[in-house]
Amino acid sequence: MSKIVHGGNVEEISRKYKINSEEIVDFSANINPSGLNKNVKNAMINALDKIEKYPDISYFNLKKSISDYENIDIKNLVLGNGAAEVIFNIIRGLKPRKVLLPAPTFSEYEEAVLSIDGSIEYYHLKEEDNFKLNNELINSLNESIDMIFICNPNNPTGVLTKNTFIEKLAKRGLETKTTIVIDESFLDFLNSEEEYTSKDLLQKYENIIIIKSLTKFFAMPGIRIGYGISKNEEFITLIKKVTVPWTVNVVASEGTIQALKEEDYIRHSIEYVEKEKNYLYNNLKQIKNIKVFKPSVNFIMFKILNNLDLKEEMMKHSILIRSCSNYEGLNSSFYRIAVRTREENEKIITALNYSLVI
């Protein structure tokens, strides 16, 4: 099994480089640069008064809040201690023998499949096509493939896939008895997601499961909250069977309920990320020795055109970036950075110019 590597490991980096963690600017984790909403923080603080009791094991209020936000039925919902747990619960509940993974994509899918000794088939996306999904992927589905994961937008490439393509994939999946798992953890950053979300397809295709994470958009990854959605009652039952009781703590639950009420924060965050994404992208394109892939949400992937160890170079500026070298289908010349505040975005642009131009 490959070693899991994720962004956001600031404390580990702090120990390795003997730098105060407060001095590190973390571009490796794709978290909303707007920061934690004050009302959400207060709700979590107030929830400490409830920690002497178990959470409601049915999580009715939390599920009702999510179902209202997503406009879905509570019975079609499963919870997890972060989207990562939902991914693992889907795998452990449905027990696919063989899983098709577009590559590159989020490494947690691979780790989940390997945790049950399942087999993986990769469909390698092409750099010359900007890593977009294509009809060849649909045609590659066959009766031996029990499940396929689609990350939309894809992490780390940022490529969006329209739901018209997902529907074609779902139709093919019905023929091959393949479960289609769509990870929409970053779609909340889009100003309009109608062309991309697969929620409406749930009514027509019971072979679809959608995964969502709230911690990235609401800037609270430390509390862990995620969920899955499906109209397939058998899927929901199997996933719930392997879900640990009280998987979501009361602080995360109360914080999430409040977060989903914060309409001004949601609107501001979408606008702010869009503005800073464009600023960062346009400035990255001006830097020599770099190829930038067009972003869709709050992170940007690029490729450097020399042999520099850019992660090490950026640490000289106390900037942490995500190397994509451990992604299937990528190598050490690919990197991913988050969209952050204007001041921080200016800092990384200056550092990259200095490192890549000289």
Residue that terminates a domain, selected from 259, 282, 305: 259
Query: CA 218, CA 127: separation in Å to the nearest integer?
Result: 32
Q: Are residues 47 and 84 in the same domain?
A: yes
Query: CA 232, CA 219: separation in Å to the nearest integer?
Result: 31
Q: Are residues 106 and 155 in the same domain?
A: yes
What's the N-to-C CA distance of the chain in angstroms?
39
280 found inside a domain: yes
pLDDT tens string 97-136: 999 999 999 999 999 999 999 999 999 999 999 999 999 9
146 lies in which domain range? 38-259
2 found inside a domain: no
Task: Using the predicted structure, report yes or no on whether residue 23 has a pLDDT greater than 90.
Answer: no
CATH classification of the domain holding 297: 3.90.1150.10
Task: Using the predicted structure, report yes or no on whether residue 55 has a pLDDT greater than 70.
Answer: yes
Q: 233-241 and 83-94 are packed helices; what angle lies between their axes, rounded to 10 degrees?
A: 100
* Count of domains for the chain: 2
Q: Are residues 81 and 165 in the same domain?
A: yes
Q: Are residues 205 and 76 in the same domain?
A: yes
DSSP string over 284-338: HTTSTTEEEPPPSSSEEEEEESS---HHHHHHTTTEE-EE-TTSTT--TTEEEEE
Q: What is the pLDDT of residue 8?
A: 53
Q: Are residues 305 and 209 in the same domain?
A: no
Q: Are residues 200 and 301 in the same domain?
A: no
Residue that terminates a domain, selected from 259, 278, 298: 259
Residue 16's pLDDT band (cuts 50, 70, 90)? confident
CATH classification of the domain holding 183: 3.40.640.10
Q: Are residues 220 and 110 in the same domain?
A: yes
4 found inside a domain: no
3 found inside a domain: no
pLDDT tens string 255-312: 999 999 999 999 999 999 999 999 999 999 999 999 999 999 999 999 999 989 999 9
Model pTM? Answer: 0.94
105: which 2 tokens?
A: 């994509």
89: which 2 tokens?
A: 């619960």
122 found inside a domain: yes
Q: Are residues 184 and 114 in the same domain?
A: yes
Q: Are residues 141 and 280 in the same domain?
A: no
Q: Are residues 166 and 235 in the same domain?
A: yes
Q: Are residues 255 and 271 in the same domain?
A: no
224 found inside a domain: yes
